[in-house]
Structure formats: C-alpha cells, structure tokens
C-alpha cells in the first residue's frame, strides 16, 4: 500500500522543526572514541531516549557494562531498546542505528564548528558532525513516528528499536546483547526483518539499497625505546629512534596503488568472474563521482569497474595516524620515546579478523626483526567485525525497492558498501532474518571527514522513504 498523502505532506510542512531537532542532536559531542567525551555519549542516550518516549515508544536503557580505553576503565553507554506497536497480525521490523560519532575539531580543517549544525541556505546542506552518520537517519525514524503519534494513525507494522552509542568504537558490548535478546522470549524474538540506515548512495543522484558490507580489523602498532623523550641534538644518530622504526614498519603494509603487502591477505579473496564484473559496470557511478566526493582528481585508476571493486569487493588497508609524535605548529627537535601507528584492513568474504590477525602479527614481527633495532614492538588488534552479504531478492529488499521508486521515481542501485557496521552480521546470524541497508545520505556527505553534511532534500525525502518503506513492507507477501 502507498504511504498516505497526509504523511508525505506532514514531513514537508514540519521540515524546519525536524532540522531544528537535528541541530540539537548534532550539538551533543557524543564521541565514543574519546574518554573525555564519554559523558556526552551518555547525554546523547538520555536525550534520544526522552525523544522516543515523547513519541509513544516504550523504551528501556540497557547497561552494557564497562571496558578499558586508553588505559582508562570506563562505563559503556547504554543501548536503547524500544517498541512501538505489538499487533500479532503485522510484520515486526527491527530498526538499528547509532548515536555516537567520530572525533571532530575545527582545527582538523572544518569550515564551521563541527558540533554546531550549520544550515547552508544556498546549497541546502546541513553541516555538522553526525548529521549523516548516523544522527540524521535516526531522526528520520523519529520524524516518521511523530506523524503517526501526533495524528493517532497506527503504524502499518510493529517497530522494535535498537540504538547504541559505541558503533564508531567497535560496538563494544552490543553483540552479547543482540545474541541474548534474539533468543526465545528475548526483546527481539518475533522480528521478521531488520532495517539499518547507516550508509550512503554511491553518488549524489541515484538512491541505493545495500546488500553487502566490508568487515574491519583495526590495529595499533607501538614502538618504544628511550625512558623519556630525547633531544635530537644530543641523541640523534646515537640511539635507535622509535619513530624511524615505526615509519619503516608502516611502509611495509601497503603500496601507493593500494596493494596490500602483508602476505596472504589479498590472496585470500578469489578474483571476480566476468559475470560479476558486469554488476559493477551497470552501476550509476563514474571516476568523476569518486573524485568529486574526494575533492581531488586522485582515483587509483581510470577503470570504473576496478575502482568500484576496490571499494566493494576487495580488501583495503589504510594508515590512519601516529600517536605520541610531535604534531603541533612550530619546530620541536624531539625524539619521541614511544610512538604508535594505527591502521585498519577492510575485510571481504571469506576474510574475518580471526583469519587475518595471524598474518598481520607475523608480518609486523618479521619486518621489525629485519630492522635490527633495539627498540621494542607491541602489536594490538583494537577491534574488528566480519563482512556481510545479504539476499537482495528477499521481500524486505523488494519493499524497499518499491518505496524508493515511489519517493524518488527511480529504481535504486544495488550496492555492496566499503564501510563496516559490525553488528549487521550479528543481527543476521542471531535472528536468522534478512537485513537491509536503506541509506538516507549521499556519496559526498563526508562521513568521518571534515565538513560532514546531510543535504536537506535527503533528510526530508529520506524521512518519507523510511515511512513509505514501512507501508510497502506491510503490503508485500513474505
């Protein structure tokens, strides 16, 4: 059944209020990876829980325990579980999202304050950390709920919510919760399908549905030697320097062309056949889309299929940063006593963190031994998640295809995505149901980057899409 015209009109007429609410959410710096902001993640959980309650959702906050981050013992932010509707004659959809965000500082290169939502009236962009990943999509569901609650219109399906505050830091504590609540009598018992809106269109013009995600293995490599930082004028060329060793190690991981140098990692993935290559050739995507999104003409290849496969069906290794090194303005002639490099590998089937870890550890230990240094090496896996692929011919996807056509008058691209949402596979395996990724944002949103944004049209039309999907879902045969 189509979504009611009154619902679509309601979303349009309340757009400014919805954007104001998004501004409030963006204003809470819920950075899960920074212990100093843990209180803000808790504040975001309380705010979101309050919003859900006001819209008629029966919620509960679930304590996920504690964990250690950067040597500090911290409480994990609670998961928010919620239920809206309990009609045994309706399908039950589990909605997942996360309310934590990546770190952001104006000094990183932002044009505006990252935790103040800036509405660019000229471009229609809503600029702020978390606007696209993942506060905008979560609030899209709230926009849908608000229409039904205020107008006392029953939803066409039952909704179960699972919102968490640690997705950007490995979803600590969530797997156990999902597995526990998926059992007979658990909170998720009876769920028919899952919908996650935490990804993006391939480009800026064509809606997409995503049926695959890469997994992730994230590593920290620490090299230490001197008992304290040293003066390079006194100790330069007299001692083994940790920074020099670390740079050498990082240089053994990946080529400038993206080839992974750790033996066995690339080789674990079978090459594509010609039939598979045709899937990527059909997608509405070009090299100029890649470069427009990146903001520079820096694509690894001019071959569209090769680049798309590099993003979707091949593993990648990225070096993210160095901790403990001098990085502020000016010149400081210091030899750091201890430095850590951080890098990650995006995984594809059949790779898993458990299969990749031994290869990474062995490679780094051999490379370190070859340096002939007296410094010490510690390698850690900080967090990881398995890759996921779903059946895009399932009725859950068919409902989303119909909804996309109804709202955007376009058929969606079917994509596998380069990012990772570790809990996706946990939901699929624990519940034994189909999981759909239904994106709100566009390919140039810059999630995890500076000047992250969500286009006003994607926020408003995307809210319509989420609601329309629920109506199509109610109508479709299992």
Residues with catalytic function = 100, 167
Helix axes 456-475, 395-408, angle to 10 degrees: 130
Most distant CA pair in the chain: distance in Å?
A: 78
Rounded to 10 degrees, the C-alpha dihedral 389/350/285/199 comes to: 50
Element holding 278 (H helix, E strand): helix 274-282
CA pair distance 368, 84, nearest whole angstrom:
55
Q: Rounded to whole angstroms, what are the CA distances from 391 to 212, 231, 297, 394, 440?
A: 9, 59, 35, 6, 20
Whether the CB-CB separation of 468 and 3 falls below 8 Å is answered with yes
CA pair distance 417, 419, nearest whole angstrom:
6
Q: Where are the alpha helices (DSSP H) in 296-441?
A: 304-312, 353-370, 395-408, 423-431
**In sequence order, which residues have a C-beta less than 8 Å from that of residue 108 and are 6 or more positions away?**
114, 450
CA pair distance 191, 182, nearest whole angstrom:
9
For 385, phi and psi rounded to 5 degrees? -155, 150
Burial class (CB in 10 A: 0-12, 13-18, 19+), 36: exposed
Closest CA relative to residue 191, chosen from 333, 301, 264, 92: 92
Q: Are strands 158-164 and 92-98 parallel, antiparallel or unpaired?
A: parallel
CA pair distance 123, 133, nearest whole angstrom:
19
CA pair distance 136, 138, nearest whole angstrom:
6
Q: Which two tokens stand for residue 1?
A: 């059944």
Positive or negative CA dihedral for 127, 132, 133, 134?
Answer: positive
Question: What single-letter DSSP state applies at residue 271?
Answer: P
∠ Cα 266 248 339 (to 5°) = 110
Whether the CB-CB separation of 104 and 110 falls below 8 Å is answered with yes
């Amino acid at each position: 059944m189509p979504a009611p015209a009154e619902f679509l009109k309601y979303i349009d007429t309340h757009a400014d209020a919805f954007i104001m609410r998004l501004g409030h959410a963006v204003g809470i710096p819920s950075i899960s990876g920074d212990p100093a902001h843990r209180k803000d993640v808790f504040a975001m959980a309380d705010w979101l829980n309050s919003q859900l309650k006001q819209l008629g959702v029966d919620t509960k906050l679930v304590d996920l325990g504690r964990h250690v981050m950067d040597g500090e013992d911290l409480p994990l932010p609670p998961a928010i579980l919620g239920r809206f509707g309990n009609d045994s004659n309706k399908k039950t959809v589990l909605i997942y999202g996360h309310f934590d965000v990546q770190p952001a500082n104006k000094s990183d290169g932002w044009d505006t304050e990252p935790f103040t939502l800036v509405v660019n009236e000229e471009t229609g962009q809503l600029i702020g950390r978390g606007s696209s990943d993942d506060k905008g999509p979560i609030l899209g569901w709230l926009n849908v709920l608000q229409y039904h609650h205020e107008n006392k219109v029953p939803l066409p399906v039952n909704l179960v919510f699972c919102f968490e505050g640690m997705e950007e830091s490995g979803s600590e504590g969530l797997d156990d919760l999902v597995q526990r609540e998926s059992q007979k009598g658990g909170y998720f018992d009876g769920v028919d399908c899952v919908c996650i809106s935490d990804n993006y269109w391939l480009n800026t013009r064509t809606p997409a549905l995503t049926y695959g995600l890469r997994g992730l293995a994230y590593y920290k490599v620490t090299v230490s030697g001197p008992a304290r930082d040293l003066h390079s004028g006194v100790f330069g060329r007299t001692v083994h320097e940790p920074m020099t060793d670390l740079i050498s190690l990082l240089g053994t991981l990946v080529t400038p062309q993206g080839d992974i140098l750790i033996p066995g990692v690339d080789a674990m993935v079978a090459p594509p056949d010609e039939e598979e290559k045709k899937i990527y050739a059909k997608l509405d995507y070009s090299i100029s889309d890649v470069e427009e999104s990146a903001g520079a003409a820096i694509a690894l290849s001019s071959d569209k299929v090769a680049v798309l496969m590099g993003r979707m069906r091949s593993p990648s290794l990225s070096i993210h940063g160095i901790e403990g090194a001098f990085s502020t303005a000016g010149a400081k002639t210091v030899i750091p006593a201890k430095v850590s490099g951080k890098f990650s590998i995006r995984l594809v089937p059949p790779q898993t963190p458990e299969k990749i870890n031994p290869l990474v550890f062995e490679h780094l230990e051999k490379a370190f031994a070859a340096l002939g240094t007296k410094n010490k090496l510690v390698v850690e896996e900080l967090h990881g998640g398995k890759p996921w692929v779903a059946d895009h011919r399932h009725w859950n996807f068919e409902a989303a295809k119909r909804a996309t056509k109804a709202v955007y008058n376009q058929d969606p691209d079917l994509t596998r995505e380069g990012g990772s949402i570790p809990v996706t596979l946990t939901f699929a395996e624990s519940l034994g149901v189909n999981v759909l990724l239904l994106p709100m944002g566009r390919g140039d949103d810059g999630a995890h980057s500076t000047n992250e944004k969500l286009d006003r049209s994607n926020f408003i039309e995307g809210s319509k899409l989420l609601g329309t999907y629920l109506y199509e879902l109610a109508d479709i045969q299992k």
